[in-house]
Amino acid sequence: MKTIKCMMDHLYWADERILHALEEGEIKNKELLKLVRHVAVAEQVWLSRLQGKGSTQYSLWEEAEELASIRTMFEQNAEQYRTYIAGLEESELDVMIDYTNQSGVPFQTSVRDILLQVLLHGQYHRGQINRALRIESAEPVQVDYITFARLK
């Protein structure tokens, strides 16, 4: 449980650093904002599934007009994940969750694997976002786990 909690803290930290870099660079690139929004919405989708709720109301690849609304999503995600993780016992990590994906296909996945998906999915896309920042002539931001760990 300690490792997952620490990795989730890294996720909140990395999300915040990416948002800050986008704000500082005054990025308006619609495709880049769409990708950032995708990360936020994917976090919501998986949390909804962990909570036993449906996720079909979420649109994973919708355009975003402004960064402020994406920031709000990330802030709400962090708050809700912190609450979820705080109430989670080690023994619950292997509980299987039944859910339907965005295409309506049923799956069953452990809480542990869902949380790892959230963590790894975000890291993957943060790499893409950093590459896009460089293309936009903005400064990429360091979001590696080791950088986070050195700050603790």
Point out the annotated binding site for a divalent metal cation. 38, 121, 125
Angle at 43 between CA 75 and CA 28, to 5 degrees: 65
Quote the DSSP letter at residue 110. E
Residues 102 and 108 sit within 8 Å (Cβ to Cβ): no
Q: Which residues are annotated as a binding site?
A: 38, 121, 125
* 71/73 Cα distance (integer angstroms): 5
Half-sphere exposure of 112 (CA within 13 A, CB side): 10
Q: Which residues of 1-22 are buried (b: 16+ CB within 10 A; e: fewer)?
A: eeebeebbbbbbbbbbbbbebb
